[in-house]
Chains A and B, each alone.
Chain A
């Protein structure tokens, strides 16, 4: 049953991806990419990765769709038709895909209890968390406590990204600069007069 659900979800995702590649109307593309994210979130739920599914649904399907729509409102609604040959891009995509598939051959089988992650890291956390942190959600315990430094770095990354976008787009810098330029101009005027 789970395999059936997985195959169904993957099939819809592939269909979404193909439609995204084909459609020129960007509004439909953005909506489809939101649907793609939601399907990915469902896949994470079937993998029991609820925290990741949560993030994917909220960020991928929610916020980024809104931001993409905002971008469309600032630019154009239709993708420009491309007249270049698509041979080289196709070759690159096929090669990358082949490399990725080749990479999966070395990966442990899905749900394999002998996989490396299930050998020492996982059991150790399962043993230590109830004693040391005593929080039922192990993901929170690992992210916030054992990996506190990493999460601090992540928050710093989000902070930097936010500051960057605010500085680039919202024109705060321009507002701050304008009075100075005016003041300089008036100085110059005074000097020349």
Chain B
């Protein structure tokens, strides 16, 4: 916990909103501009990691409890695989998006949007979970020693 870094704390508070907004932009605009689930997930996780670095692990874990993070890891993969099975049940092949809407192009758009959401969820949750796992162990170097 960085009690003494006033500038860092103020800048972090200003930055976290735009970072999360940018993550959503990269996530849902991935069909039109560079980006997609992987990048968006990492950027989304960065917002929480930044918050954790500056305000401490216990504060960020109030916003995003480890229990939720662990469930999100699985949920993202399930959404992806579930989209594949949805294609299967709607008369297509596994991961065939053409059947997900009334016409193939819309089906492709829907499929890509949904699986990218799954990718983003898993990646973001994994990154946050790894950060929690590292940060939760008692450090051997105190804050002042850096």
Contacts and interface: CB of A to CB of B under 8 A. Distances in A.
Nearest to B95: A148
Interface string A30-64: 00000000000000000000110111001100110
A90 to B, nearest CB: 32
Interface string B125-146: 1110111111111011100011
Nearest to A72: B141
A26 to B, nearest CB: 10
Contact of B31 (A55, A135, A151): A135
Nearest to A27: B146
B115 interface: yes
Contacts of B146: 27
> Which size bracket describes the interface of B in this complex?
35 or more
A152 interface: yes
B72 to A, nearest CB: 10
Given A145-B112, A159-B73, A163-B73, A152 B95 contact: yes
B42 A162 contact: no
A186 to B, nearest CB: 28
A60 to B, nearest CB: 10
Contact of B133 (A27, A134, A166): A166
Given A77-B145, A152-B81, A137 B32 contact: yes
B77 interface: yes
B60 interface: no
A159 B134 contact: no
A113 to B, nearest CB: 24
Contact of A155 (B39, B118, B134, B139): B118
A75 interface: yes
Contacts of A114: none
Contacts of B49: 63, 66
B139 A74 contact: yes
A134 B127 CA distance: 31
Nearest to A141: B112
Contacts of B137: 74, 169
Nearest to B45: A63
Given A71-B134, A137-B32, 14 more contacts: A59-B42, A63-B46, A73-B140, A74-B140, A132-B104, A134-B109, A135-B32, A140-B116, A155-B76, A155-B80, A159-B76, A159-B77, A166-B130, A169-B137
Interface of B: 26, 30-36, 38-39, 42-43, 45-46, 49, 53, 66, 70, 73-74, 76-77, 80-81, 84, 95, 97, 104-105, 108-109, 111-112, 115-116, 118-119, 122-123, 125-127, 129-137, 139-141, 145-146
When A and B form their complex, which 4 residue pairs have the shortest distance between CB atoms, in order from nearest?
Answer: A162-B126, A70-B134, A169-B133, A50-B34
Interface of A: 27, 50-51, 53-55, 58-59, 62-63, 66-67, 70-77, 132-137, 139-141, 143-145, 148-149, 151-152, 155-156, 158-159, 161-163, 165-166, 168-171
7 contacts: A55-B39, A132-B105, A132-B108, A133-B112, A140-B112, A144-B115, A152-B95
